[in-house]
Homo-oligomer: A and B are copies of this chain.
């Protein structure tokens, strides 16, 4: 039937949604969530119907995603007909019923996700079904490939392209800022793309951004890598696996992460990675809790890598506390810069050279860790970092003290004396976020003690930095209500861990970082 277009002049977040009133929908024989085919001149597209009770009859409301695509003006007529549901929806339904999906079925789903033919309700149900039923390795492979095929790729004319990735889960993990220069200084190519923080106080892109620009185009990335062997850029705008961003939009509110493997590996495949070390921080307060889980996940990545033509090794790393002392974009960048200049925390340097060492050994270089250590000690990694900073448009001569941070500071001291028994990764991350990280780049936390150290009564456990008073107050309040760092004079006399019912209800926190 013919309907008049009413342009809504607002976006639906990329979704293709059309609004009908009850009567018009009923006349067309469509319900809320059904599809309609909209034809205007030569253009034709499918949209998902929402019903608004106060909408004028014989009109169709079009969000900008649709009106732009059709090139239509307000008040013009369109032809609207009920459309069939896409095939992908029947595959989604098959997955809900616990069936394994075939490669072409997975591909159809991913294509329809990218083309916005599936609604949020359908996408949410699909992701939930994947989470509950699990995904076979064949499905993971098909998902990874489909996610690469529906996105952009980076093509470097190199035989070996190295990469590292962390599944995330511990605050302060600024290892990339050391690994990329070490590997590049060894003459190997490592075009590192990173994400910004979603639920953490800092993503690698947030950290690096305090040193130099990270929002580079594909052509600019190629130039930087050709010049320096490496780069540290934000991958978000490169459209490497756009399906993943759409999956994340429903995974985030649900706090589930069933697409971890294809999400990470599709992005690696899209930039042409041949050798990858996957860092799996493991510990009670990390994303991965036990060695068993870590080994299983590591093996899954190796298996998937084989199917995709990427050689993978997994590094299970100590994840019981934050890495180094600094948490928050600017504070971490300072610490990383200090470390590459020779100072800085031992755990950060050990982890960076261990992972860089594995990468070197994967391409045939013996004694990888020692070589990584010597590249660091000899200042070659530092020179490489400065080359990369300059190539990306930053100041090559930057010193740690040039990196500004929040001018407001608070100290959290201990009321008891004792040895540090545990540091709660999530609580530390929450305090840093409450203080304003990652949005306020200078906000964050500096630990003044680490596991096993002895702190006297009144000693400072950590400092909070921020840029705004209200946020500082909230962060201090949170720091005092949580117990981010636990001490005991005699650990053997602190056996009670918790009680049920609990005194305080701890909110489930979810780490969605890839």
Contact A11 B121 (CB under 8 A): no
Contact B96 A132 (CB under 8 A): yes
Given B11, B53, B89, B133, which contacts A53 in the complex, CB threshold below 8 Å? Answer: B11
Q: How far is the CB of A4 from chain B (nearest CB, A)?
A: 15
A98 within 8 A of partner (CB):
yes
Q: A19-B10, A128-B128, A131-B96 given as contacts; is B64 within 8 A of A54 (CB)?
A: yes
Contact B121 A254 (CB under 8 A): yes
- Contact residues of A between 248 and 262, Cβ < 8 Å to B: 249-250, 252-256
Give Cα A8 to B63, complex, Å.
12
A55 within 8 A of partner (CB):
yes
Q: Copy number in this complex?
A: 2
Q: A124-B120, A254-B121, A254-B125 given as contacts; is B54 within 8 A of A11 (CB)?
A: yes
Query: From A122, which residue of chain B is reached at the shortest CB distance?
Result: B253
Q: How many A residues face the partner with a CB closer than 8 A?
A: 54
Q: A253-B119, A439-B27 given as contacts; is B11 within 8 A of A8 (CB)?
A: no
Query: From A250, which residue of chain B is reached at the shortest CB distance?
Result: B121
Contact A125 B122 (CB under 8 A): no
Q: How far is the CB of A59 from chain B (nearest CB, A)?
A: 11
A26 within 8 A of partner (CB):
yes
A501 within 8 A of partner (CB):
no
A51 within 8 A of partner (CB):
yes
Query: From A510, which residue of chain B is reached at the shortest CB distance?
Result: B93
A52 within 8 A of partner (CB):
yes
A331 within 8 A of partner (CB):
no
A346 within 8 A of partner (CB):
no
A494 within 8 A of partner (CB):
no
Interface stretch, picked from A28-36, A320-328, A392-400, is A28-36
Q: How far is the CB of A184 from chain B (nearest CB, A)?
A: 31
A416 within 8 A of partner (CB):
no
Beyond the given A29-B433, A93-B256, could you list 16 further A-B residue pairs with CB under 8 A, ordered by the A residue number?
A8-B8, A10-B52, A11-B54, A13-B32, A13-B52, A29-B439, A31-B252, A33-B253, A54-B64, A90-B507, A92-B254, A93-B508, A96-B128, A120-B124, A121-B254, A124-B125
Provide a sorted-by-A list of 19 A–B residue pairs whose CB atoms are within 8 angstroms.
A10-B52, A11-B55, A13-B32, A13-B50, A29-B433, A31-B198, A32-B252, A93-B255, A96-B131, A96-B256, A98-B132, A119-B253, A121-B254, A122-B254, A124-B125, A128-B128, A128-B132, A129-B132, A132-B133
> Which 7 A-B pairs have CB atoms at the shortest separation, nearest pair first?
A33-B253, A124-B124, A11-B52, A121-B124, A125-B128, A128-B128, A132-B132
